[in-house]
């Protein structure tokens, strides 16, 4: 069994790539934003992609990377508006809803902890109606640090009291799992299929689920 549920009383869940199909975000940043940037700047799509790629890369793991306002400013595009334009692509990953129903009915506390900006978080909750399953929703923008930094977890613990020993984090980002491990969160699970349009990832550092059915037993 992947997890002994008796040892867990707090479930911390990432959003993009864990509960929601990362295909939306991948398509948005890798195709749709370059397209709109190319149109705005009078570039070819290829040239736009070449300009944007290093700029995205340099911001990875920083809070600004997840900030719609930041990208709206530097790219001179209405990023929130563009997200809304293709919001039809926002999708819940397979078996997530069953899992959330079961977790919500259990005595365990269930929190959404995300690096997503309040703007995209709002759009995604509106599209997926998952909000009701959580005891709380925490965006790293509220705390001032991304999940990749230990400070995030310290501040999270002040906001929603939990014991490190009995907390479980499920997150598709290895950098985030590493910072949570460093902080001392005892139970860590990764996701090997965050984007349904991409092949399964080989994950060796953490136990990984392909979908949430693997965690239903004993919950
Ligand atoms: Mg994620």
**Same domain (yes/no): 33, 121:** no
pLDDT for the residue numbered 100 = 98
Does 101 lie in the same domain as 28? Answer: no
From 64, 88, 112, the end of a domain falls on 88
pLDDT of residue 65: 86
Q: CA 25 to CA 175: how far, in whole Å?
A: 18
Q: CA–CA separation, 133 vs 103, rounded Å? A: 8
- Specify whether 96 is located in the same domain as 138: yes
Count of domains for the chain: 2
**∠ at Cα 12 (207, 185), nearest 5°?**
65
Compute, in angstroms, the gap from residue 191 CA to the centroid of ligand 1.
Answer: 9
Cα-based torsion angle of the residue sequence 18, 27, 148, 121 in order, rounded to the nearest 10 degrees: -70
What local confidence, expressed as pLDDT, does residue 60 receive?
86
Report CA(183)–ligand 1 centroid distance (Å): 18
Looking at the structure, do residues 126 and 207 belong to the same domain, yes or no?
yes
Q: How far is the CA of 49 from the centre of ligand 1 (A)?
A: 22
Residues 104 and 75 in one domain: no
Residue with tokens 């550092």: 205
Kindly give the distance from the C-alpha atom of residue 42 to the centroid of ligand 1, in angstroms, as a whole number. Answer: 33
* Stretch (H or E) spanning 213: none
Measured in residues, the chain has a length of 219
Whole-model pTM?
0.94
Shared-domain flag, residues 63 and 105: no
**In sequence order, what E strands does 66-197 have?**
109-114, 136-139, 167-170, 187-191
On whether both 106 and 16 belong to a single domain, the answer is yes
153: CATH: 3.40.50.1000
**Which bin fits 97, alpha (ψ -120 to 50), beta or left (φ > 0)?**
alpha
Same domain, 210 and 165: yes
The one-digit pLDDT tens for each residue of the chain (219 residues) are 789 999 999 999 999 999 999 999 999 999 999 999 999 999 999 999 999 999 999 998 888 888 889 999 999 999 999 999 999 999 999 999 999 999 999 999 999 999 999 888 999 999 999 999 999 999 999 999 999 999 999 999 999 999 999 999 999 999 999 999 999 999 999 999 999 999 999 999 999 999 999 999 999
Taking the alpha carbons at both ends of the chain, their separation in whole angstroms is: 11
Per-residue tokens: 33: 């934003």
Separation of alpha carbons 79 and 84, rounded Å: 9
**DSSP-derived 3-state class of residue 92:** strand
pLDDT at 199: 96
End residue of a domain, out of 38, 67, 88: 88
Distance 41 CA to ligand 1 centre (A): 30
Domain termination site, one of 38, 59, 88 = 88
Rounded to the nearest whole angstrom, what is the distance from the C-alpha of residue 61 to the centroid of ligand 1? 11
- Asked if 203 and 165 sit in the same domain, the reply is yes
Residue 44 Cα to ligand 1 middle (Å): 30
Q: Are residues 61 and 46 in the same domain?
A: yes
Note whether 42 and 130 are same-domain residues: no
Do 133 and 183 lie in one domain? The reply is yes
Containing structural domain, residue 127 = 5-21+91-215
Query: Who surrounds ion ligand 1 at CB < 5 A?
Result: 14, 16-17, 172
């Amino acid at each position: 069994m992947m997890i002994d549920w008796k040892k867990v009383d707090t479930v911390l869940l990432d959003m993009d790539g864990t509960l929601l199909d990362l295909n939306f975000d991948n398509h948005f940043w890798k195709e749709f934003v370059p397209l709109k940037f190319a149109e705005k700047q009078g570039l070819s799509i290829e040239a736009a992609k070449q300009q944007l790629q290093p700029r995205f890369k340099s911001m990875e793991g920083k809070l600004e990377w997840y900030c719609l306002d930041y990208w709206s400013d530097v790219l001179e595009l209405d990023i929130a508006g563009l997200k809304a334009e293709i919001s039809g692509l926002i999708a819940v990953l397979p078996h997530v809803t069953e899992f959330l129903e079961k977790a919500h009915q259990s005595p365990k506390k269930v929190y959404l902890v995300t690096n997503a900006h309040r703007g995209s978080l709002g759009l995604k909750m509106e599209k997926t109606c998952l909000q009701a399953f959580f005891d709380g929703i925490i965006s790293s923008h509220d705390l001032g640090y991304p999940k990749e930094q230990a400070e995030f977890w310290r501040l999270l613990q002040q906001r929603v009291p939990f014991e490190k020993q009995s907390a479980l984090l499920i997150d598709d980002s290895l950098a985030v799992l590493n910072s949570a491990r460093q902080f001392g969160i005892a139970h860590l699970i990764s996701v090997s299929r965050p984007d349904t349009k991409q092949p399964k990832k080989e994950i060796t550092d953490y136990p990984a689920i392909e979908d949430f059915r693997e965690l239903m037993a004993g919950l």
